[in-house]
Structure 1
Amino acid sequence: MGNLLGHWRFREPSTVEECDSTWGSDSESDEPAGEEDSGISESVSPAESEWAAAEDDGDLPHQLTDSPESPPKMKRSFYAARDLYKYRHCYPNYKKSRQPNEFLNLRFYLNKIPLVPDGIYIEEILTGWRGDYDKLEHNHTYIQWLFPLREQGLNFYAHELTQDEIKEFQSTREAKRRFLAAYSLMLDFYGIKLLNKSGNVARSSNWQERFYHLNESQHNYLRITRILKSLGELGYEAFKAPLVRLFLEESLHHNTLPNMQHSILEYFVYTIRLPATRRRLLRYARQHYRPAHAFLWGPPPKRSRFKGGDDGASVGAGSSGIRAPAPTPEPQRRGEMSFISTSACSGSLVSSHDAIVCRDVSVERLNRYTGVGSSMDSLQGTLIMIAEGNNYTEVVPM
């Protein structure tokens, strides 16, 4: 048995449904052990209660369901679904890239080393950059250091986290204090204030100016995806849902951030590890999404329930109703990092979030490796994989 397990290899999901367990079960058995809930109240409004009951009974209002006259729906991004699947499952099959005793991210947060290549210490950023919105907008090297992940970003001088470094970071009070200060700094940049240590957030006093900028400056959506991922890596999983809920309210209900809608639903929601929390957020989103028939992220109106045995596969997310296989177990990180396909950029229907990833990676990496300027418009929107040694780097948010 030991030998069999030793040779077991992670099989990457091949469909959006396989990547998304949000609606696969009404139980919480698929939630990661040790994770805390989001802090969002379990209470729901009467409208939400009626919607949930209708959803379970397959009796949604006729005008909100698909009809033969409805236009064809866009598809969900497989690139986004797979990227967030890997994140939620702790990067299965991802190769450890550094020795655990380096802890460069932790040393940066302890103010012992500066970020590279700018040579800036974190205390300078935390004390001198707050309110300097031009600097925060136009500098593109600091975000990977402030919000590290176990994956490579566009700043190739930044270092991925390791599991040992994460444990050490979470037990270091000074590092955690500065991390929350960095989070508050970025929230202020986006027109949001951190209310308390539970992660609750609200509009700041200058929210109108900052929301207007955020709605137009869509590369910041890549940064927000990274921030949310980093919160989960460093012990602040509960901080994600209040921020995502605020973005949903602003984009769908108040219409202050309409350009952010797709990024919230394709990326931000799916950084959250607890399926129950994702379900609550998506139910809220579906109430306010227009046109209602185009909502891609909920379960089909009628869901088949299978109980027990090998036939217990569940219906996946999205509106296709395709039955997905049972959830793949979460293996230990092992083996080589898989080569990532370029499907996010090869199709004709690509989200603005994916397009920005492809464009920025193309230009950034061409500049770094070939010296070609960013004026090569014909290459924008094309995903380029750069070989470093025998490994390939993967497209990730900022």
Structure 2
Amino acid sequence: MGNLLGGWRYREPSTVEECDSTWESDSESDEPPAEGDSGVSESVSPAETGRGGADPGDTTSPQLTESPEFAPKMKRSFYAARDLYKYRHSYPNYKQSRQSNEYRNLRFYLNKIPLVPDGIFIEEILTKWRGDYDKLEHNHTYIQWLFPLREQGLNFYAQELTQDEIKEFQSSREAKRRFLAAYSLMLDFYGIKLLDKNGNVARAPNWQERFQHLNESQHNYLRITRILKSLGELGYEAFKPPLVRLFLEESLCHATLPNMQHSALEYYVYTVRSPARRRRLLRYARQHYRPAHAFLWGPPPKRRGVGGGGGGAGSSGIRAPAPTPEQHRKGEETAIATTMAAGIIVSSHGTAASHDVSSVEGKGCAVLSSKIVGLEGTLMMAGARGERNNYDKMYPL
């Protein structure tokens, strides 16, 4: 067993923001060369987290209004964010070495062993399965062999990649030739054609029929995520943005793949390792996403100091984190002091009362409502005879 991180202990991210570094900066200087990432990490940095602020130079973002009724109902998927975080960081919690004669993915692509359990060789798939859409649709064992990853798929006979095997694969012209043929095979199945060695893609002649099928057969969206990941693992990182861009255009602009919209934004974009390229894709998506105010994948809101009015949702739809216990305590003390000074008595219906006070128009009302910032604190004073326990059950801290 090996560990690329040495003595550094991997810490699992716990929020969507920690998993996403897309908007950490707005510099295009981190754009990689055309060939992209090889998929092999010589060293892995644990620092790529989404603690950055909003995108200061981006004026194209449709902003949410301050009114809470316009806040988006959807939320980013933490499961998806964490999965793609691990992928972009070369699976920091999984490192396993094997002997070279155990490289089953490479040997399969060299046409030396068949895939298990079907017993089919790669050359048979590439020559006989092209255009056999029923077989490609209903067989669920080949995709893990055609597009291997450093993670386990549904076919437990398929073996996970290791970094050493990735290096061996990338040094084999025969394996890479067949891998690109397998990629072209799957693109044809989805109604797309590979245009050149740079990974540019376009609609295939039969795109209408295939797009209709793809829009309805949503288990293929998981396959596409795997294909995109495998492209990056085996040295074709630069092939991802053209394919993701096509899916964004078809789902957002032309409505040919409306059911793919969420998968494209939540998964496909985040398989791209370069933050600059992810930003480019998300800016394009944001221009065409409807309703515009519900776009969740833009830059997060700016962090404001405690008491500075933070907590509203920005264009990403991600609200500021809940206050810490220390901030809660200070809020309670402030509320108690303010209430005692004003001589206010809050009834057990304090929730409704506080909303009524904040909506009153008149001299001093705005100041008063802004100071009543700790409903928990005021209810502590009013609930000295056991009402606090009932409140805790209704509104846990």
TM-score, normalised to structure 1's length?
A: 0.68
Mapped to 1, the partners of 2:8 and 2:125 lie a distance apart of 45
Structure 1 match to 2:289: 289
Show CA shifts across 1:303-326 (max 9, x none).
469xxxxxxxxx999332548xxx
Q: Size of the alignment, in residue pairs?
A: 296
2:231 matches 1:231: yes
Aligned-pair CA distance for 1:99:
3.6
Mapped to 2, the partners of 1:35 and 1:199 lie a distance apart of 10
Residues 247-258 of structure 1 correspond to what in structure 2 (within 5 A)? 247-258=247-258
> Cα distance 1:170–1:78, how it changes in 2: closer, same or farther (>3 A)?
same
Mapped to 2, the partners of 1:261 and 1:191 lie a distance apart of 17
**What CA RMSD, in Å, does the superposition of the two structures yield over aligned residues?**
3.0
2:318 matches 1:320: yes
Mapped contact 2:62–2:315 kept (Cα < 8 A): no
- Other structure's SS at 1:202 match: strand
- Other structure's SS at 2:120 match: coil
Amino acid at match of 2:15: T
Aligned-pair CA distance for 1:214:
0.1
Structure 2 match to 1:357: none
Mapped to 1, the partners of 2:314 and 2:6 lie a distance apart of 30
Mapped to 1, the partners of 2:251 and 2:180 lie a distance apart of 25
Aligned-pair CA distance for 1:35:
7.0
> Cα distance 1:170–1:37, how it changes in 2: closer, same or farther (>3 A)?
closer
Residues 141-156 of structure 1 correspond to what in structure 2 (within 5 A)? 141-156=141-156
Aligned-pair CA distance for 1:34:
10
Residues 272-283 of structure 1 correspond to what in structure 2 (within 5 A)? 272-283=272-283
> Cα distance 1:279–1:119, how it changes in 2: closer, same or farther (>3 A)?
same
Amino acid at match of 2:115: L
> Cα distance 1:37–1:319, how it changes in 2: closer, same or farther (>3 A)?
farther
> Cα distance 1:19–1:128, how it changes in 2: closer, same or farther (>3 A)?
same
Mapped contact 2:64–2:71 kept (Cα < 8 A): no
Structure 2 match to 1:244: 244
Mapped to 1, the partners of 2:314 and 2:30 lie a distance apart of 14
Mapped to 2, the partners of 1:243 and 1:249 lie a distance apart of 10
Mapped contact 1:215–1:258 kept (Cα < 8 A): yes
Structure 2 match to 1:104: 104
- Other structure's SS at 1:279 match: helix
Amino acid at match of 1:288: H
2:69 matches 1:69: yes
- Other structure's SS at 2:209 match: helix
Residues 27-176 of structure 1 correspond to what in structure 2 (within 5 A)? 27=27, 36=36, 56=56, 65=65, 67-96=67-96, 98-176=98-176
Mapped contact 2:34–2:238 kept (Cα < 8 A): no
Structure 2 match to 1:379: none
Amino acid at match of 2:110: L
> Cα distance 1:198–1:316, how it changes in 2: closer, same or farther (>3 A)?
farther
Structure 2 match to 1:376: none
Aligned-pair CA distance for 1:137:
0.1
Structure 2 match to 1:46: none
Mapped to 2, the partners of 1:126 and 1:60 lie a distance apart of 44
* Structure with higher RCO (Cα < 8 A, 6+ apart): 1
Aligned-pair CA distance for 1:93:
1.6
Amino acid at match of 1:162: T
Mapped to 2, the partners of 1:147 and 1:129 lie a distance apart of 16
Larger Rg: 2
Show CA shifts across 1:291-339 (max 9, x none).
1111100014x6469xxxxxxxxx999332548xxxxxxxxxxxxxxxx
Mapped to 2, the partners of 1:111 and 1:71 lie a distance apart of 54
Aligned-pair CA distance for 1:69:
2.6
> Cα distance 1:198–1:29, how it changes in 2: closer, same or farther (>3 A)?
closer
Show CA shifts across 1:186-205 (max 9, x none).
00000000000000000000
Aligned-pair CA distance for 1:274:
0.2
- Other structure's SS at 1:148 match: coil
Aligned-pair CA distance for 1:206:
0.4
Aligned-pair CA distance for 1:173:
0.5
Aligned-pair CA distance for 1:56:
3.0
- Other structure's SS at 1:69 match: helix
Show CA shifts across 1:229-273 (max 9, x none).
000000000000000000000000000000000000010000000
Among all aligned residue pairs of Structure 1 and Structure 2, give the percentage whose two residues are the same amino acid: 83
Mapped to 1, the partners of 2:279 and 2:166 lie a distance apart of 28
Mapped to 2, the partners of 1:167 and 1:37 lie a distance apart of 12
Mapped contact 2:36–2:235 kept (Cα < 8 A): no
Mapped contact 1:115–1:142 kept (Cα < 8 A): yes
Mapped to 1, the partners of 2:80 and 2:204 lie a distance apart of 30
Mapped to 1, the partners of 2:33 and 2:58 lie a distance apart of 32
Mapped contact 1:126–1:182 kept (Cα < 8 A): yes
Higher deviation after alignment, 122-131 or 66-75? 66-75
Aligned-pair CA distance for 1:7:
4.0
Show CA shifts across 1:130-162 (max 9, x none).
000000000000000000001100000000111
Structure 2 match to 1:177: 177
Mapped to 2, the partners of 1:244 and 1:62 lie a distance apart of 22
Aligned-pair CA distance for 1:103:
1.1
Mapped to 1, the partners of 2:168 and 2:147 lie a distance apart of 16
Mapped contact 2:141–2:155 kept (Cα < 8 A): yes
